[in-house]
Structure 1
Amino acid sequence: MCRLNTIQSTINYIKNELIHIYSSREAESISYILLEYVLAYSRMQIQFNKNETIEQKDFLQLTLYLKQLKKNKPIQYVLGEADFYDLKFKVNEHTLIPRPETEELVHAIIQENKNSNLSILDIGTGSGCIPVCLAKNLNKAKVSSADISAKAIEIARQNAKLNKVEVCFYNRDILKWENFEWEQFDIIVSNPPYVTESEKEKMEDNVLKHEPHTALFVSDNDPLLFYRTIAKLALSKLKTGGKLYFEINESLGIEMQKLLQDIGFTTILLRKDINGKDRMLSAIKPI
């Protein structure tokens, strides 16, 4: 006879299996995410139906996902999707998992730019979370995005279609930006690689072993390489009064302000995230 598993007993089982990898709170959160995905239930439905028996095929599917999780594979890669700014995004090993601080950057851009018909360039496409959300939330915005990874762009195109927006994607190496034709933009935004090689040892295995290193890391010898390059592009390709937005390494706020000032930007604003860390920066191309 097959063992009967209720929703509550399954939550407990998943938590116990993951407790040596994740905190109790994280393990519980993952158990709910798995059940929402496999059962197609909302969080509220799970809460109200904890005594309901789970079908054996669904329980077996949960155990297959659990095997991957126990190898430190992030839940987003296990399920192939992530939530970001109230939208769903496909993700895989070629794209970073969208982070909450990037949501804050997207929110700031949306709140500060209510004009119609803005021309926007995102640099470092990844899953497409930034350009797709901007296209979805800014009225009649014309959004473009560039990335060195053709495989990341393939996923980003799927996410644009999934979320019913139009984004123009370019497979380009931004460090060679002068080799390509660019139009003039009202906004340029980027979340480029900013974790230094020396910071690797502080990172969790679920990041180091699964997320694309080319999208994460930059040399200790020149940690501002991508910011300096993108700022020079922005000074050339932003319209007068256009805005530049960055997500940044929390330890490089002062250096970033000086960099943009030296390149020629004005109204440079260092912004803190919800945790009080210097994680965002904006600047304006002077008149």
Structure 2
Amino acid sequence: MPFEKPKAKIQSIVNALSGVYDEREATNMANLLLSHFYGLDRMAIILNDEFSLVEGSEKGLAKSIDELNQHKPIQHIIGSVEFYGCELLVDERALIPRPETEELVDWIVTVNTVEAPSIVDIGTGTGCIPIALKKAIPNAQVAAVDISEEALTLAQANAKQNGVEVDFRHLDILENNFPFDLLDIVVSNPPYIPESDKAEMSSNVLSFEPHLALFVENHDPLIFYRRIAELAFLHLKIGGMLYFEIHERFGEEMIKLVEEIGFTKVLLKKDLQGKDRMLQAQKYSK
């Protein structure tokens, strides 16, 4: 059985991906692939000890490199992603959780003062937000809704994998009644990318992630935010909190939108890239 050193293997993978990805991206992907196919952790790579090139793993690696060069997301190839201390299954049924959404979850966890909050996540996708919140706030009563039954099936599998209970429900918030009341927290990362922005997006997103969860009509890009804010104002307790992940271009419009509905103490928060990507608002009056 042939052997190879991790750093040499990483370099060969980086070379194979160099036509599509820059060196930093390709190196990160190579590390993930070595961990996935050969079980090599970061320390094994640093020590650079020889490892055996198992035939089945070599075939899987070669296939994965081909898929990456066709812009398939590395998360779909590996089949999972780390999110705020959770291991989540990911595939074409839902959006891949992003770092900005981890920042939103961390904001909620950090400022929450309710010992056992009632929380609803709207447009849950993989279930990343409610699962992470339930793990971080074990006494919370957490529910989540989505229009996609396929996404809900994935979210339920993720909740089971992470050992938490979340009340998942199939719901079209534009059409159906909202079956929750007296909530402490409503959170959502709804579709917010105008159709006109498609041309600027990478092919791995356009080809492999559900457009239903990404795009909104150009004439009303805040349609889901408006509806969710209206529902939240009706169903939150006095003092309850609304949290959104938002498009970086719509910060001022979002402040105006939630204030017109009746929310107060509205805050915009920048992500680690310095972009306005999160909003918090509080319900103070009926």
Q: TM-score, length-normalised on structure 2?
A: 0.96
The aligned runs of 1:25-174 (5 Å cut-off) are 25-174=24-173
SS of alignment partner, residue 94 of structure 2 = coil
User: 1:132 touches 1:160 (CA, 8 Å); kept in 2?
Assistant: yes
Task: Report the equivalent of 2:278.
Answer: 280
Of residues 217, 233, 236, the one that matches 1:235 is 233
The one-letter amino acid paired with 2:214 is: L
* Distance 1:55-1:181 versus aligned 2 partners, 3 A rule: closer
Task: Report the equivalent of 2:195.
Answer: 197
User: 1: distance between equivalents of 2:263 and 2:215?
Assistant: 26
SS of alignment partner, residue 174 of structure 2 = helix
User: 2:263 touches 2:283 (CA, 8 Å); kept in 1?
Assistant: yes
User: 2: distance between equivalents of 1:70 and 1:78?
Assistant: 12
User: 1:261 touches 1:268 (CA, 8 Å); kept in 2?
Assistant: yes
Task: Report the equivalent of 2:248.
Answer: 250
User: Cα RMSD (Å) of the superposition?
Assistant: 1.3
SS of alignment partner, residue 92 of structure 1 = coil
Cα offset for 1:53?
3.7
Higher alpha-carbon deviation: 180-189 or 148-157: 180-189
The one-letter amino acid paired with 2:50 is: N
User: 2: distance between equivalents of 1:57 and 1:139?
Assistant: 41
Cα offset for 1:65?
1.5
Cα offset for 1:56?
2.8
Task: Report the equivalent of 2:8.
Answer: 9
User: 2: distance between equivalents of 1:5 and 1:185?
Assistant: 56
Q: What are the superposed Cα offsets for residues 66-85 of structure 1, whole Å, 9 maximum, x if unpaired?
A: 12111110000111111111
User: 2: distance between equivalents of 1:241 and 1:166?
Assistant: 25
Question: What are structure 1's unaligned runs of at least 5 residues?
Answer: none
* Distance 1:139-1:4 versus aligned 2 partners, 3 A rule: closer
SS of alignment partner, residue 175 of structure 1 = coil
Task: Report the equivalent of 2:266.
Answer: 268
Cα offset for 1:41?
2.4
Cα offset for 1:150?
0.4
User: 1:249 touches 1:279 (CA, 8 Å); kept in 2?
Assistant: yes
Of residues 215, 218, 223, the one that matches 2:221 is 223
Cα offset for 1:52?
3.1
User: 1: distance between equivalents of 2:192 and 2:26?
Assistant: 29
Identity of aligned residues (%): 47
Of residues 198, 210, 213, the one that matches 1:212 is 210
Cα offset for 1:3?
6.1
User: 2: distance between equivalents of 1:139 and 1:45?
Assistant: 35
Higher alpha-carbon deviation: 93-102 or 38-47: 38-47
* Distance 1:44-1:114 versus aligned 2 partners, 3 A rule: farther
SS of alignment partner, residue 176 of structure 1 = coil
SS of alignment partner, residue 241 of structure 2 = strand
User: 2: distance between equivalents of 1:150 and 1:176?
Assistant: 16
* Distance 1:180-1:269 versus aligned 2 partners, 3 A rule: closer
The aligned runs of 1:173-184 (5 Å cut-off) are 173-177=172-176, 179-184=177-182
User: 2: distance between equivalents of 1:98 and 1:138?
Assistant: 20
User: 1: distance between equivalents of 2:72 and 2:197?
Assistant: 20
SS of alignment partner, residue 175 of structure 2 = helix
User: 2: distance between equivalents of 1:150 and 1:57?
Assistant: 34
Question: What are structure 2's unaligned runs of at least 5 residues?
Answer: none
Cα offset for 1:57?
2.6
User: 1:264 touches 1:285 (CA, 8 Å); kept in 2?
Assistant: yes
Cα offset for 1:44?
1.5
The one-letter amino acid paired with 1:156 is: A
